[in-house]
């Protein structure tokens, strides 16, 4: 283990060998990495007495947030916990799964079979193995953001004995909705976020139309080799789900074009920023497994977002330009064309197709066990969250015995980051019946 200091904290690196397939514990091992963070100034005995809080990041496919010192909710957590920031399997400094490493597994079929072991069920079994090593068997508190909340609900379904309490921010999943049903609920929310953005920044509607028209007329290659198609440009709407995303999008759009001797062109600075927002190089598992997180043993996901989008013709850019309607941006959706436009995903196109056609996904949640839950659970549900349907979340909240909700429109999906210590403070109080 390596230990070092940052402002106000002591950080210790942990590396845990875990089975690739937990049903074959004597088989291949992979590594899961985590950072332990404690407040500076504690003695060894005092630190050892602190209870553990495990943080599960959103995604899928993102490593745990790299805090510097006591940023955001971490400051509140360190007042009473030792915090473990987990890089879920395949992410961050854990054994990677990407276009460079997956070919070591063999052909596309072998890669798809390998990635079956990277959903919430395997992540939670990693957590249980790590918990027993770190806590001596004592249960711990879990804080799950977005997809981390999905993992936490699976945790409640399968290993509640490992949990002291569960705190969920923007991540109560439907217990039974199909991927199609998730996206049927999502596209109307995405439309509302577009309408709110254009109401705040009216000139952006024309800027979006201008960029879309430009992209329909010519091929644009991003600095890293990606293709900026009109559909890829529309996917910048994912920014509209975060607290400051509407402002980020506005600043991006207002610098879209520069004058040149041959007429207006998309600015190099604009294209560089677009690439940073759209590239999956740092989180390919998000694209590969995003629809699989909704797979509940009811057949293949079969590119649900792409199919459902066809039922919402207002998102067709060419049609909108022809009719004079606003060109709407999309949101947290993954499509087959992502595996053509993005260089980080192109080599994985066949693998992604096999995952989309897979029909043997196992259910992730146990409604009967959740109905009998005895673990204190508190969840922040963000009103009209663009990423996770509010109605689905509240239905799940009613299905988990004893769960207390805080429904708020003060934050978007990233409230646990944007709200500093307030969100965690309120959820802890709710879980302890202090409110």
Q: Which residues contact 368 (CB under 8 A, 6 or more apart)?
A: none
299: number of Cβ within 10 Å: 15
3-class state of residue 415 by DSSP: helix
| Cβ proximity of 226 and 233 under 8 Å | no
| Cβ proximity of 144 and 167 under 8 Å | yes
The H or E element that residue 111 is part of is helix 108-115
Instruction: Please say if 413 is a catalytic residue.
Output: yes
- Which DSSP state fits 292? G
Helices (H), 201-303: 203-217, 230-234, 245-253, 268-278, 284-289
Angstrom distance (rounded) from CA 342 to CA 34? 29
Q: Which residues contact 276 (CB under 8 A, 6 or more apart)?
A: none
- Which DSSP state fits 273? H
Q: Of residues 146, 235, 242, 393, which has the active-site annotation?
A: 146
| Cβ proximity of 143 and 56 under 8 Å | yes
Q: Of residues 235, 413, 414, 431, which has the active-site annotation?
A: 413
Helices (H), 136-267: 147-158, 179-200, 203-217, 230-234, 245-253
| Cβ proximity of 300 and 357 under 8 Å | yes
Q: Which residue has the tokens 């980051």?
A: 417
Angstrom distance (rounded) from CA 87 to CA 93? 7
Tell me the C-alpha to C-alpha distance, in Å, between residue 238 and each of 130, 245, 286, 316, 397.
Answer: 33, 8, 13, 17, 25
- Which DSSP state fits 175? S
| Cβ proximity of 394 and 400 under 8 Å | no
Angstrom distance (rounded) from CA 58 to CA 56? 7
3-class state of residue 338 by DSSP: helix
Instruction: Please say if 366 is a catalytic residue.
Output: no
Instruction: Please say if 146 is a catalytic residue.
Output: yes
**Closest alpha carbon to 316 in 189, 246, 230, 194:** 230
Cα angle, residue 353 at apex, residues 155 and 225 outer, rounded to 5°: 105
* Sequence-ordered strand ranges (E) for 339-421: 377-382, 404-408
Which active-site residues does the annotation give? 146, 360, 413
């Amino acid at each position: 283990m390596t230990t070092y200091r940052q402002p106000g904290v002591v950080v210790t690196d942990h590396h845990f060998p875990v089975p690739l397939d937990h049903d074959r514990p004597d088989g291949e091992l992979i590594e899961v990495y985590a950072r332990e963070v404690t407040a500076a100034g504690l003695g060894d005995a005092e630190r050892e007495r602190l209870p553990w809080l495990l943080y599960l990041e959103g995604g899928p496919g993102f490593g745990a947030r790299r805090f510097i010192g006591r940023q955001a909710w971490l400051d509140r957590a360190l007042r009473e916990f030792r915090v473990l920031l987990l890089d879920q399997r395949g992410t961050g400094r854990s054994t990677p799964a990407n276009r460079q490493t997956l070919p070591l597994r063999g052909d596309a079929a072998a890669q798809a079979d390998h990635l079956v072991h990277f959903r919430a069920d395997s992540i939670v079994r990693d957590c249980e193995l790590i918990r027993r090593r770190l806590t001596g068997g004592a249960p711990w508190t879990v804080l799950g953001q977005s997809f981390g909340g999905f993992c936490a609900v699976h945790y409640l379904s399968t290993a509640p004995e490992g949990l002291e309490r569960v705190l969920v921010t923007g991540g109560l999943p439907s217990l039974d909705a199909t991927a199609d049903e998730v996206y049927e609920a999502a596209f109307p929310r995405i439309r509302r976020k577009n309408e709110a953005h254009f109401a705040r920044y009216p000139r952006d509607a024309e800027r979006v139309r201008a960029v879309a028209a430009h992209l329909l007329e010519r091929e644009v290659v991003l600095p890293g080799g990606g293709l900026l198609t009109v559909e890829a440009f529309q996917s910048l709407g994912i920014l509209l789900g975060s607290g400051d995303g509407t402002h980020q999008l506005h600043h991006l759009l207002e610098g879209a074009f520069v004058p040149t001797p041959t007429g207006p062109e998309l600015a190099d600075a604009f294209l560089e920023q677009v690439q940073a927002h759209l590239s999956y190089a740092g989180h390919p598992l998000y694209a590969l497994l995003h629809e699989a997180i909704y797979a509940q043993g009811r057949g293949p996901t079969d590119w649900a977002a792409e199919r459902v989008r066809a039922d919402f013709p207002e998102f067709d850019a060419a049609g909108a330009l022809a009719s004079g309607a606003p060109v709407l941006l999309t949101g947290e959706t993954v499509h087959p064309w992502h595996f053509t436009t993005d260089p980080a995903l192109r080599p994985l196109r066949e693998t992604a197709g096999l995952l989309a056609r897979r029909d043997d996904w196992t259910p992730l949640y146990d409604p009967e066990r959740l109905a009998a839950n005895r673990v204190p659970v508190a969840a922040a549900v963000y009103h009209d969250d663009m990423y996770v349907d509010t109605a689905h979340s509240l239905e799940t909240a009613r299905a988990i015995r004893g769960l207390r909700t805080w429904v708020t429109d003060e934050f978007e999906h990233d409230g646990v980051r944007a709200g500093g210590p307030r969100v965690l403070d309120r959820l802890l109080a709710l879980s302890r019946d202090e409110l």
